[in-house]
Amino acid sequence: MWCTGGYDGYSPISEKTRVLARGYSQWGRSRFGLEALWAKDSADAATDLELAEGVKLSSDLPGQRTTTVGGSLWWLYQLGEREQMFFRYDDLNPSREVPEKGLRSIQAALSFQYSESVILALFYDQLEKQAMHSTTSPKSEKIGVTAKVTF
């Protein structure tokens, strides 16, 4: 088991503050972890396409600071010698001061290590955005097969 964290405080000119905490543990065939983020930034720094397509905090909060909060949970389970199951949940609110800007995502995968250098995976990925998050579609889902080949 391990835990780590960090704090960054920048000058009043850039007005950035970050707190990030992570934890990880292993129990039997399971590994699991969590991450938490708290940040305070100038809303003018979060320009279009830097945060997400269509997200403009600078127009919502001109000249102000905004608070970002988020977190992630993940779980990895070793099914057999070559098979693993993975699950991850993310929740992010890029601005507590502007309602309905958050997003949530869920990822799940089943992987099989075919050889020393080839891993195949079947995955599911869902992204759900709150009403005022961006101009893009509020919900997207993907199902697919992917491979990792190392040489």
CA gap 12, 8 in Å, rounded = 13
Instruction: Quote the pLDDT of residue 16.
Output: 73
Q: Token digits for 106?
A: 């869920």
pLDDT tens-digit map of 89-137: 999 887 777 777 788 999 999 999 999 999 999 999 999 987 666 666 7
Confidence band for 25, pLDDT divided at 50, 70 and 90: very high
Q: Determine contact, residues 138/128, Cβ cutoff 8 Å.
A: yes
Instruction: Quote the pLDDT of residue 138.
Output: 79
Asked whether the predicted pLDDT for residue 50 surpasses 60, the reply is no
Instruction: Quote the pLDDT of residue 136.
Output: 67
Give this prediction's pTM. 0.76
Asked whether the predicted pLDDT for residue 52 surpasses 70, the reply is no
CA gap 151, 144 in Å, rounded = 23
**3 to each of 17, 135, 138, how far by Cα in Å?**
20, 37, 34
Q: What is the DSSP string of 36-48?
A: EEEEEEEGGGS-T
